[in-house]
Each structure stands twice: as C-alpha cells, then as structure tokens.
Amino acid sequence: MLDQILKDTSDKIEIDIYYNNVLTNPSSVIIREIRNPNGVVILTNQATSQGSTMGRYEYELDSAYTETLGVYSLLGHLLTSILNISRSYPASGRDI
C-alpha cells in the first residue's frame, strides 16, 4: 500500500495489521527503520501508537525527514512476531 506525504511536511503514517485476512491488534508494532528515497536510514526503532480502529497503528513522521522527494520505505516488526511488514510512502513535491 502506498500513501502520499507532501515534501517538507509532517504527516501520519497509518499501518493496518492483518492476520489470516482479519484486522488484528498485536502487542505492539515497532518501525525498525525508515529509509529515504536514496536508501539512507533516517530513523530506527520508532514506536507506533494504536489507532482509532482494530488493527490500525499510527506514526507521526516529522517534516525534518521528508526533505527528499521520492519513495520512502518502512520496515516494521510486530512484537508478537506474526510477520515483518514493509511499506513504502512517496513524498510529493508541490509548486510554489
């Protein structure tokens, strides 16, 4: 799943966790690393918070980390070790 985050802005990353095709709440979801479009690790071991619905977790990515235009990648880990997740988030430029 891809989500759009504007360049140089902060935004909330939402992660939906499924087990056997059903939304589920693991003990916790940790973002092991976030990489910028150049493949550089910009953040590690970031805690997420439980969202407003079953199986949804959220992380607020600060604007200081969205300065490079392109696709960011995220590698997460569930505390229950059901699976590892990987998602990408493109940052979009805007005309001024």
Could you give all domains of the chain from N- to C-terminal order, each with its CATH number?
5-91 (2.60.40.1930)
Average pLDDT, the chain: 79
Per-residue model confidence (pLDDT) at position 25: 86
pTM here? 0.71
- Burial annotation 36-45 (CB, 10 A radius, 16+ → b, else e): beeeeebbee
Which residues neighbour 87 within 8 Å (Cβ) at sequence distance 6 or greater? 1, 2, 3, 13, 15, 73, 74, 76
Residue 7 has pLDDT above 90, yes or no: no
